[in-house]
Amino acid sequence: MERIAVFPGSFDPITLGHISIIRRALPLFDKIIISIGINSEKSSMFSLEQRLSWIRKIFIAEKKIEVTSYGGLTVDFCTERNANYILRGLRTSTDFEFERGIGQVNRKMASHIETVFFLTEPEHTPISSSIVRDVIKHGGDVSSMIPEEVEY
């Protein structure tokens, strides 16, 4: 059976932290589906099309990666796509508490799906999409936090 993982997130925008997690996870899986969750209650800075197009550009040469979006529950999307793994990154204890809740609820809803966590590289710990958005809003330089493909 193919080992398929879904990496769900907002990726608003994708950062060097996300990319590092994806690259480190690649040897473990036959396929990683990077999927932007469509959340009608959460407004994004960048459009869905823009976010998808940046991620596709970054991983254009990577045959094991698919980039898409989904609505509804992550576990339902995983089941639909035969993915038995959810990939997430952990930066801090706050991330841990948040991820523990989601991970345990997901496991209750779909016991065939395991969440796999990667600890962030130390240099990526302070990077988050929300900080990147804040710095952009105020005209600051985010070049050390995002890949060059993210042109806005």
Residues designated catalytic: 18, 42, 91, 129
CB 34 → ligand ADP: shortest distance, Å?
10
Indicate the residue among 10 and 106 with the shorter CB distance to ligand ADP: 10
Number of residues that make up the chain = 152
Output the six-digit token pair for 37.
């969750």
Residue 108 near residue 75, CB atoms below 8 Å: no
Output the six-digit token pair for 109.
């809803």
Indicate the residue among 4 and 89 with the shorter CB distance to ligand ADP: 89
Sites of contact with ligand ADP (CB under 6 A)? 9-11, 15, 17-18, 21, 88-89, 91, 95, 120, 124, 127-129
Output the six-digit token pair for 46.
């960048």
Residue 53 near residue 89, CB atoms below 8 Å: no
Cα first-last separation, the chain: 40
CB 99 → ligand ADP: shortest distance, Å?
6
Residue nearest to ligand ADP (CB): 17
Indicate the residue among 4 and 21 with the shorter CB distance to ligand ADP: 21
